[in-house]
Amino acid sequence: MELREIKTFLEVANKKSFCKAAEKLGYSQAAVTVQIKQLEKELNVHLFDRIGKQTTLTHEGETFYEYAADVVKNLNHAKNILSVSSELTGRLVIGTIESICSTLFPPLIQEFHRLYPQATVSIVVDSPGALLTMMNHNTIDLVYFLDKRMYDSKWVKVMEEPEDIIFAASKNHPFGIEPGLTIDQVISQPMILTEKDASYRLMLEQYLAAYGKKVHPFLEIGNTEFIIKLLRSNAGISFLPEFTICRDIEEGILTPLKMKDFHLQTWRQMVYHRDKWISREMKAFIELVQRMEQECAGTAPSDIPKE
């Protein structure tokens, strides 16, 4: 039973005419007849008596009319309430990776809460693969991750930005001012790296493997902030997305190493499932991310697909 069939039934009952109802609704008379027959089939009753040019409700039709009118009335009432209320009060579940969560999310979530104080947010931190699987199973609403450019016919991508992955160390590290460093020089130093399931750690290992090389970090940890604290204390070299340490670089605490013939880039991306209904909370968060990207880059935000 579809809402349009109920509305068509009410129009025929009010106009007492299939023809007049069709004109009012913009349907052909045949389409109106098909909808009423479908409704009668589902209810297993006759709703109208059509004798000559007269169209009247049967007893069952009169009974159904009361319920049908209430359905449409209540639906319109709900629409009015929802359209009047501008306050977001729903829940948003966002999946992201640790490096984004610890560096980009604090100001983002703070601004989202300032704008929508009644909305609630849950953040799930995991690897991109695990997060995308959760999204495909509808356990999270959005995935904000860092990886090579990824596409899938089941996803809608609302943001994609390139990000450099760099070797960095304390400004006091001997390599801090040395130009033209080779990859062999760098990986021979004490290394602090993220866990192996981190996308940019994998990129580094694949790059090295192509040249028959390996990196042997003295510490592997999934906490980006912990790594940054060790770098500040001159405990070694790490390989991180530049956005995670840009403030430390600007303040002269850390320095990007000047590499010779080495450059790796990844992509910051945000996606949701194509079949996912876009809640107002999702729409507001996407718009906020795009606005903040626009403010940083000076470009217009992308349109949010209305699928």
Query: For the chain, which domains are there?
Result: 3-84 (1.10.10.10), 91-162+267-297 (3.40.190.10), 163-265 (3.40.190.290)
Whole-angstrom distance, CA of residue 133 vs CA of residue 211? 33
Confidence of residue 111 (pLDDT cuts 50, 70, 90): very high
Give the mean pLDDT of the chain. Answer: 91
Q: What is the per-residue pLDDT across 168-189, written as a single tens digit (0 to 9) for each?
A: 999 999 999 999 999 999 999 9
Instruction: Flag whether pLDDT at 32 surpasses 50.
Output: yes
Question: How far, CA to CA in Å, does 108 sit from each of 100, 102, 155, 284?
Answer: 11, 11, 23, 12
pLDDT on residue 123: 98
State the pairing for strand pair 254-256/191-193.
Answer: unpaired
Whole-angstrom distance, CA of residue 269 vs CA of residue 146? 6
pTM of the model: 0.68
Instruction: Flag whether pLDDT at 81 surpasses 80.
Output: no
Whole-angstrom distance, CA of residue 237 vs CA of residue 167? 7
State the pairing for strand pair 219-220/191-193.
Answer: parallel
Average pLDDT over residues 202-221: 95
Structure tokens at 65: 């009319």
pLDDT on residue 300: 47
Which residues in 138-282 belong to E strands, given as ranges? 142-147, 155-170, 191-193, 219-220, 237-241, 254-256, 264-273
Instruction: Tell me the residue type at 207.
Output: Y
